[in-house]
Amino acid sequence: MKKSVTFLPDNVIIEVDTGENLLSAAAKAGVYIQASCGGDGVCGKCKVKVEQGEVAANKAMQLKAEEHAAGFRLACQSSIIEDLVVSIPVATSKDGKALKAKPKTTRAISARSLDHLIGTWQVSPPVEKRFLTLDPPTLEDNVPDLQRLMRAIKKKCHDCSEPTYDHPELLMELPFTLREADWQVTAIMLRGKRAEEPDRIIAIEPGDTTGNLYGLAVDIGTTTVCGVLIDLNSGEVIAEASAYNDQIGCGEDVISRIIYSQRPGGLKGLQEKVVRTINTVIETVCKKVMISPSNISYIMAAGNTIMSHLLLGLNPKYLRESPYVPTCSHFPLTRAASLGIHAHPSVRLFLYPAVASYVGGDIISGVHACQMYKSPELTLFIDIGTNGEIVVGNEEWMVCAACSAGPAFEGGGIRHGMRANAGAIENFHIHPETLEPMIITIDRIKPCGICGSGLIAIVAELLEAGVIDQQGKFNRGLSHPRIREGIDGYEYVLAWAKDTLMGEDIAITEVDFDNLTRAKGAMYAGYVTLLESVGMTFADLDRVIMAGNFGAYIDLEQAICIGLLPDIDRDKFYYLGNASMLGCQISLTDHVRFRERMMVSTLITNLELSESAQFMNHYMASLFLPHTDMALFPTVRDKLPRL
């Protein structure tokens, strides 16, 4: 249920979900409240006065009894449970003069059309369990065990065609399993790849194990591997986990890993590292719900083309060399155990198909999830990550491209960068006069680093406040204790050591700005180049769908301010979340939607940006905040009058 919060004295109104943290709500509304401890409740600087309504306060530390009685609360420790009117105390300068806290109109990327985009799906997974009671053999009925099993399966499902099996290992254990289980067993069945193909028996378990049917959806990212455990009987997500891809030690981007794979033992080492990461994710999700990895009956995965090759142990050498040819684009259905993945011995691992060397299964999975291949609306689909991927088109045609954005959006290459874990700065505002920060961290504890959404917010806010210029250089004319010269040049101190988890200052540097600018520049240049290739501009788009792990938390205006997203009608933007993972979840749960995924890969044409001179021109023009051509960013230009 939504609640309304009015922030005075600027009369800024925002609607948020019941239970939303008041400090986070203020940040989303663009209302500045000084907060330096990330929401841990120890700095005491986020005092506000609740004029109307009431909040659920977690703790009243840093508040005097008379302040509490007068209606003051710590915003970071207050949950919104009803409509509120809240007064923000006016900040004052050292000489007592009131300072103006510039309110801003911001909004998160809309998820309002999520159901419309992804549609519905049924709980009818590609793998199922059937409990069977077989008639024991007699002298009169002494047909082979396998035929007896087939007969029981056929009897259980009258409309089914004769099932098949494809691994002799099944036969090696079959007679013993049947007799030890007193002829009561559960068959694990894999549906045919096409509707006309028969189901396959992939394993036999003693007794009735139909209640234990689990599937794992895996997004194999260059930086992060994410896993979602699904109860395939109900379709419900029951556990989630993520882990850094162990391959990072061999290179932060896909090119570095291709080079590493050519060393002696390099390819095998990379395969072992990603398998180890997947196993870590599996162990984590299984522990959360107290099941064994052997209860997992199917794995649906998606990754870019290089990640898919490395997982299967396919040499990616020629993916890096013109004309950029992968070993294959449709990957074989593989037994997970043969790769060393911990799950049921019979488990099949399905990898989404790729389109080209740098447009892989993760983008196919995302396009599959949002069904843009069924829509007449002209759509720009953006998946922002270490390997940024872009698709433009609709139900009639689609063109895709990829660009190496680097790991900045996932915390890589940033001095205090980190993944979006507890303590990561995820939102930031700055007072336009005092230049003091408002920091929001994940789980509202003391800060310990900066994640992708926080990085975007910090750069946008410092740019608007005039702390940095379009080139990401600090304004040397400003004299402020938070702006100083550090080991990597000038920096802004986001949190002092006493306010951090590590007991050391957390700062943002000019080197960090440079890494972010290159990453966002590659993405923006990719959009423009791809649209130009089909004779279009941003004005021709009906919608922009943004996917990616961190996208749910970024502020739309801030992303446009730095030039990561185009400056167009905000109502055209939609957020889909981790679309790669979503596609895997849908395919894992609904075998009918699963069978549609092949249609997606055949409809997409690839454009190699590495061979495009126009891409490099657009990239160089994008290495400014937000861009060298401010006519492309009129709303940002209006916020930055000095430009």
Question: By C-alpha distance, which of 417, 607, 473 is closest to 528?
Answer: 607
pLDDT at 435: 93
Fold of the domain built from segment(s) 375-406+518-639: Nucleotidyltransferase; domain 5 (3.30.420)
CB atoms within 10 A of CB 336: 25
Asked if 383 and 389 count as a contact pair (C-beta separation under 8 A), the reply is: yes
pLDDT at 181: 95
Model-level pTM greater than 0.85? no
Burial class (CB in 10 A: 0-12, 13-18, 19+), 204: buried
Amino acid at 10: D
Whether the upstream peptide bond of residue 9 has omega within 30° of 0, thus cis, is: yes
Q: What pLDDT, in 10s, does the model give residues 501-513?
A: 999 999 999 999 9
Axis-axis angle for helices 361-370, 579-589 (nearest 10): 70
Q: What pLDDT, in 10s, does the model give residues 513-529?
A: 999 999 999 999 999 99
pLDDT at 529: 96
User: Which class would CATH give 214-361?
Assistant: alpha beta
Helix (H, G, I), strand (E, B) or coil at 382: strand
pLDDT at 556: 86
- H or E element: which one contains 514? helix 510-533
Compute the Cα dihedral for 302, 304, 305, 309 and give only its sign: negative
- H or E element: which one contains 362? helix 361-370
Take residue 205 and report the two structure tokens written for it: 């378990």
Axis-axis angle for helices 305-312, 254-261 (nearest 10): 30
214-361 against 375-406+518-639: fold identical: yes
Strand partners, 237: 230
pLDDT at 108: 46
- Domain limits, the chain: 2-105, 127-206, 214-361, 375-406+518-639, 408-515
pLDDT beneath 50: ranges in the chain = 92-96, 101-112, 643
Does 127-206 carry CATH code 3.10.20.880? yes
Calpha distance 104→113 (Å, rounded): 25
pLDDT at 424: 93
Asked if 483 and 454 count as a contact pair (C-beta separation under 8 A), the reply is: no
Axis-axis angle for helices 169-180, 145-156 (nearest 10): 80
CATH (residue range 2-105): 3.10.20.30
Q: What is the DSSP secondary structure assignment for residue 161, as one 8-state letter?
A: P
- Degrees (nearest 5) of the Cα angle 255, 399, 568? 95
Question: By C-alpha distance, which of 4, 398, 10 is closest to 389?
Answer: 398
- Chain CA centroid to CA 104, Å: 27
